[in-house]
């Protein structure tokens, strides 16, 4: 069940060190505090199937000490560090000591302090389960505190139902706070709906994003959850339609490439992805890795370049792009 945390584990060859001369950025990075490692371990114990094969039962904590050498190795200048504080509100942890707003605050604080160590190279995003009763308080706190660029949401981990009007209202209220503070959002949109696709993305666009025109949004994993299948492609179609008919402004929307190219990708999936990337345009695409769950930036650059999802000109542009909140 890969919706639990990140995307499937990638197993690939040794890196050859994809150097990018332009600066560029990794727009999708996670650091893991001690307490979030403990929460993962508790979940793996309670729900063995939820942690995924090949994943450690207690992943090691990670920080700038582990990551900055990898960013340097890839020749990338900057990164967005996305808090995994939403994990404390995972429904599978509901009856544990980890379902605690103080731990959510502490995890977000951890990210804030980490990125403050490299103020010229890192920005951070806070996160929360948007359905938690403390969600709006947490969003308001960081919006006013001001050290972080915006909010990370994970609809699958938080079990958000994009067909539920109450869930959409709650998301809209959260985005109103972001909008008032001109904050950004990184959204893992794909939820647990087996039929996820055009309708879910359209509901999010029309009921949440349309009312928050000051919020720039980065659709994580190309609006999917790793890999590139028909459901994800339908969600992308919904965004392209909303951009075409003016419900969304082009300047407002980005797509990140984290985990979209997996080792088991079929030729058809790569071809579909390539076509969509061309339609979206290189200026709206952001490079990202999903480290520490997945490969390092240099390894990911190598994997993606070898996949041929972008021609050379577009590749150079995408790997040089930096989202506005990183500039
Ligand atoms: Zn991620």
Q: What are the residue boundaries of the structural domains of the chain, listed by start?
A: 23-326
Rounded to 10°, the helix 267-280/230-244 angle is 10
- 154 CA to centre of ligand 1 in angstroms: 8
pLDDT per residue of the chain (327 residues) written in tens, 0 to 9: 344 444 444 444 444 444 544 589 999 999 999 999 999 998 888 877 777 777 778 889 999 999 999 999 999 999 999 999 999 999 988 888 999 999 999 999 999 999 999 999 999 999 999 999 999 999 999 999 999 999 999 999 999 999 999 999 999 999 999 999 999 999 999 999 999 999 999 999 999 999 999 999 999 999 999 999 999 999 999 999 999 999 999 999 999 999 999 888 899 999 999 999 999 999 999 999 999 989 999 999 999 999 999 999 999 999 999 999 999
User: What's the pTM?
Assistant: 0.93
As residues whose CB is below 5 A from the ion ligand 1, the structure lists 6, 290
Question: Which residues in 205-238 are b (16+ Cβ under 10 Å) and which e?
Answer: bebbbeebeebbbbbbbbbbbbbbbebbbbbbbb
- Report residue 29 as tokens: 């990075």
- 6 CA to centre of ligand 1 in angstroms: 5
CATH of domain 23-326: 3.20.20.140
Q: Please state whether the peptide bond connecting residue 292 to the residue before it is cis, i.e. omega within 30 degrees of 0.
A: yes
Q: Which of 246, 255, 300 is nearest to 279 (CA)?
A: 255
Q: What's the rounded Cα separation, in Å, for the pair 6 and 152?
A: 13
Pairing of strands 184-188, 150-154: parallel
Q: What's the rounded Cα separation, in Å, for the pair 218 and 210?
A: 15
- 29 CA to centre of ligand 1 in angstroms: 7
- 197 CA to centre of ligand 1 in angstroms: 20
- 63 CA to centre of ligand 1 in angstroms: 15
- 79 CA to centre of ligand 1 in angstroms: 13
- 179 CA to centre of ligand 1 in angstroms: 23
Q: Which 3-state string (H, E, C) describes 106-129?
A: HHHHHHHHHHHCCCCCEEEEEECC
Contact of 258 with 6, CB cutoff 8 Å: no
């Amino acid at each position: 069940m890969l919706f639990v945390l990140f995307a499937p584990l990638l197993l690939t060859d040794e890196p050859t060190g994809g150097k990018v001369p332009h600066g560029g950025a990794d727009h999708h990075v996670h650091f893991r505090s001690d307490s979030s490692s403990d929460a993962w371990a508790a979940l793996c114990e309670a729900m063995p199937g939820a942690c995924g094969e090949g994943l450690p039962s207690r992943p090691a904590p990670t920080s700038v000490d582990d990551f900055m050498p990898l960013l340097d190795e890839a020749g990338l200048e900057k990164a967005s560090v996305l808090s995994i504080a939403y994990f404390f509100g995972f429904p599978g942890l509901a009856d544990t000591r980890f379902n605690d707003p103080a731990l959510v605050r502490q995890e977000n604080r951890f990210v804030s302090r980490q990125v403050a160590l490299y103020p010229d190279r890192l920005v951070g995003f806070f996160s929360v389960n948007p359905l938690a009763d403390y969600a709006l308080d947490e969003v308001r706190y960081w919006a006013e505190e001001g050290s972080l660029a915006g909010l990370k949401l994970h609809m699958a981990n938080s079990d958000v139902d994009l067909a539920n009007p109450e869930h959409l209202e709650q998301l809209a209220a959260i985005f109103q706070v972001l909008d008032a503070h001109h904050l950004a959002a990184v959204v893992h949109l794909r939820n647990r709906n087996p039929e996820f696709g055009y309708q879910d993305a359209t509901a999010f666009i029309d009921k949440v994003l349309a009312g928050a025109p000051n919020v720039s949004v980065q659709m994580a994993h190309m609006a999917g959850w790793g890999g590139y299948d028909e459901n994800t492609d339908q969600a992308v179609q919904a965004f392209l339609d909303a951009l075409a008919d003016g419900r969304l402004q082009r300047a407002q929307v980005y797509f990140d490439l984290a985990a979209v190219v997996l080792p088991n990708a079929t030729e058809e999936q790569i071809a579909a992805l390539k076509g969509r990337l061309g339609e979206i345009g290189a200026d709206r695409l952001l490079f990202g890795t999903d480290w520490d769950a997945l490969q390092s930036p240099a390894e990911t650059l190598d994997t993606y370049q070898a996949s041929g999802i972008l021609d050379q000109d577009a590749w150079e542009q995408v790997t040089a792009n930096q989202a506005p909140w990183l500039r």
